[in-house]
Amino acid sequence: MSKVVAIVGATGAVGVEFLKCLDERKFPLKELRLLASARSAGREMQFKNQTLKVTELTERSFDGVDIALFSAGSGISKKFAPAAVKAGAVVVDNSSAFRMDAGVPLVVPEINPEAIKTHKGVIANPNCSAIISITPLWPIHKVNPIRRLNIATYQAASGAGAAAMEELVDSTRAYLDGRDYQPKVLPHPYAFNLFSHNADVDPVTGYNGEEAKVIDETRKIFGVPDLRISITCVRVPVLRAHAVAVSFECERPITPEEVRAILAKAPGVRIVDDRAKNYFPMPKDASGQDDILVGRIRQDLGDPTGHTIALLSAGDQLLKGAALNAVQIAELL
């Protein structure tokens, strides 16, 4: 049955990807509404062979809407999602506003699609780093439960939005031209540099907000509240697609061959693991791809018991890390 779908934050980086996903996946649309702030109202955007006009987001924007895809920040979600639900829409929210609400399902369709049935009007889309980190791990966890995760992320500019992507391009051009460039979006120079993720750091634990999200959300999605997780999130000068290095310890001994066999059949995952050519997952290959690329699958030599595997993954932050995952949820709805 065709649906009336609204995109909140349609002009942003994720909003643009929503349009592409809905088109490419042939989502059954009766009507598509593009919503954004007052300053973007009136802007025209292309969808299939149509020119659609962006309208200002208000609490009355959701009359007759079946599904509302939100990607405009947690403040906007908290303010307008209740209005959308009251109007009868199901909200799929890409912000952090509702992720850890006990009454809101946090969903990765390849992992816990059944959680959608428990929604009360809002379904949360997980953090992009969490999705890219754990989607390849779930099929392994089902066979041989994971007891501990050690994660390092290498996160692209796209995770901070279109303005950060533009800043990376502009600062790189300035660096190559020998010109000074003062960052405005991110706290440190971005060209030919990397730095700890710019989320606020908890003065007690030393972990930043991005790291806390991955820890909390992984435990919720996996349904393992005491899962042991350590993580370091780093911002790297890549336009889009995050890379993640993971070492995971299983309940029983496990081999790289077993992991490859499991992942070869896993939905949403593609193995890129050519040791002879030293070719493994890279952001350049993951960009624009629906699948999460996984490789460098090897025994973790730091664990002589054989319970631990190390691997590297890369996934498009704007697609599987955001828009694609939300559209997959909408498809399940």
**Residue among 119, 197, 242, 307 flagged as catalytic:** 242
Q: Which residues pair with 167 in a beta bridge?
A: none
Residue 242 is a catalytic residue: yes
Which two structure tokens, joined as six digits, stand for 60?
Answer: 């009355």
CA–CA gap between residue 102 and residue 106 (Å, rounded):
9
48 and 25 Cβ atoms separated by less than 8 Å: no
**Residue among 128, 141, 250, 307 flagged as catalytic:** 128
CA–CA gap between residue 226 and residue 224 (Å, rounded):
6
Handedness of CA 203, 205, 207, 213 (dihedral sign): negative
Q: How would you class 81 by CB atoms within 10 Å of its CB: exposed for 0-12, middle for 13-18, buried for 19 or more? A: buried
Instruction: Spell 271-286 as b/e; 16+ CB within 10 A means b.
Output: bbbeeeeeebbbbebb
Pick from 131, 113, 85: nearest CA to 331? 113
CA–CA gap between residue 85 and residue 281 (Å, rounded):
40
CA–CA gap between residue 31 and residue 36 (Å, rounded):
17
Pick from 90, 31, 83, 91: nearest CA to 61? 83
Catalytic site positions: 128, 242
